[in-house]
Structure 1
Amino acid sequence: MANMIREIKELGSHAVDIYDFLLAGLDPRLKDYPLMQSPIPMTAILLCYLLFVLYIGPSIMAKRKPFQLKEAMIAYNFLLVALSVFIVYEFLMSGWATTYTWRCDAVDTSNSPQALRMVRVAWLFWFSKIIELMDTMFFVLRKKHGQITFLHIFHHSFMPWTWWWGVGYAPGGMGSFHAMVNSTVHVIMYFYYGLAAAGPRFHKFLWWKKYMTAIQLIQFVLVSLHATQYYFMDSCDYQFPIIVNLIWIYGTFFFLLFSNFWVQAYVKGKRLPKQDLKPVQNGTAVYTNGKHHENGSNHGATNGTSNGSTHHENGSAHMGKMKKA
């Protein structure tokens, strides 16, 4: 028993040493940024998020009517559009449109104005992922539990956790390429959801939902290709090769997940409302252009989910009353 206690203490001591070692390697320029002093607060936020969306939230809403939250979703989506535009601009001005080669770009560890600007936008990109946890909150409060898929949850929890470490160690350099591309995609994505939440009068402009998934797939291809070139360089001064490896794995993994969503939604038609499915001779459902319009805030095309009720619901209820009459 004494030996077991001693071993546990030694393991605890080693764990503390490893933790201190990891913290010691963080970029000192981030020490005054919110939530960057330790990974514990960030991890606690993500654990609370998972508990709420998977257990607490559905339990609270079980006997309650779903909230509409139309105005909140409109404001939320267009706020994220503006934030994403700003993030893309700052990434460009911090290096990608000024001094970067788009190949092997090392992290500028100096305290120059441009280097500090890159540190700021890298942190802001990570913090935007914390804000985007609200996507799933809207699902729960509107009782769209069927939309909380593995892909959605994994994307929203895994990315902010890993990017905390990426920002903490390497705020900039070639590892920030996928952050800039992701923010560009989010400009388009949240603009779509803002229009969708605004009401039926805007639904005629939302015929391009299907192509948002294609844009996401292009994003992961670009990210993976940019990371792949690292393996064919004779030399590269980028300080954190492990981040390049993780980005390559991340881009490839999510390309496969989103490709599966594309097949399920637009080839097999399993994720489309019945109103949008038109049977053909071979038994495959096809997408009818201009019929599917969502009213909500989510990662419908991007995270394997489709949030909100469609404007067809009013029509369906009306037809039901007519049949009853």
Structure 2
Amino acid sequence: MFRDSARSRLILAVLVVSAMILLIVDTRPGTDPFTSMARNGGELVFAPTAAGVGYVLGPIGQIQDRIGQGSEGSDRIAELEAANAELESELLAARIDEHRSAQLDDLLHLSGMGGYEIVPAQAVTRTTARGYAHTATLDAGTESGVEPNMTVVNGDGLVGQVTEAGPRTATVKLAIDVGSSVGARLESTRKIGAVTGGSVPGGPEGDMTLELFDLEVPVEQGDRVVTLGSHEGAPFVPGVPIGTVEEVQVAPGALSRIARLTPAVDFAALDVVGVVVQGPAEDPRDSVLPPEPDPEGDQ
């Protein structure tokens, strides 16, 4: 710590005078021996001080340079992140379009096999909350020919039934709703029954339950079920895949055989669907069902 005293003031005065002399000497031209010696002596005295000042102030200049560079770097990083986000968004949109295109192809294949005239639509919202019906809202309505009681399908099978239709939207009761009931028949034996959404009293837990009216009908795991069809195709056209038998149960005192079904449709991933605005000229029977897996090919 610097203290104000007579000695310190004397040292300061000597340094100031010496500095002035060196400035005068340093401005003189030529290579006079006395001048050179004085310059060299001044460097020995003041160089450590100058170096110390440079050591202290140097990092400050570097920090200022880095601040300037950091600002430019941050802007560049922000630009790159924005470009990357835009690219990811474009790739996601392309994948979604590709996925929907594949779903539309499957839907057109199903409608072609069944002879169904359809209006393609997209399931834009889905309601699955407890206490509410399992429904979906489509982005097509009466302006596209959609009316209540029409069958709704996708490329895998039965989605549900139109319950309400506005000019540009429609509400669909999904086949897994507890209020849904569909006339059905087995692929193998052609025996008939009804498929309801959810479970029935005394039956196994599941998204769909098949009740066959004949207790003697043989039912096995893996049997497939399709829509029986209704008068003039309303509310359900015939031949649409509903699901596959997962578990069979005979409830004590029951008047029918009960089976839990695995739905043909993935209701958790509804997207592209088709509203059947005109049913087939004749029952397609089992032609809409996909080929059964080859047991030898699975081994």
| Structure label with greater radius of gyration | 2
User: TM-score if structure 1 supplies the norm length?
Assistant: 0.23
TM-score normalised by structure 2 residue count: 0.25
More helix by percentage? 1
Quick one: higher RCO (CA 8 Å, sep 6+), 1 or 2? 1
Between Structure 1 and Structure 2, the one with more strand by share is 2
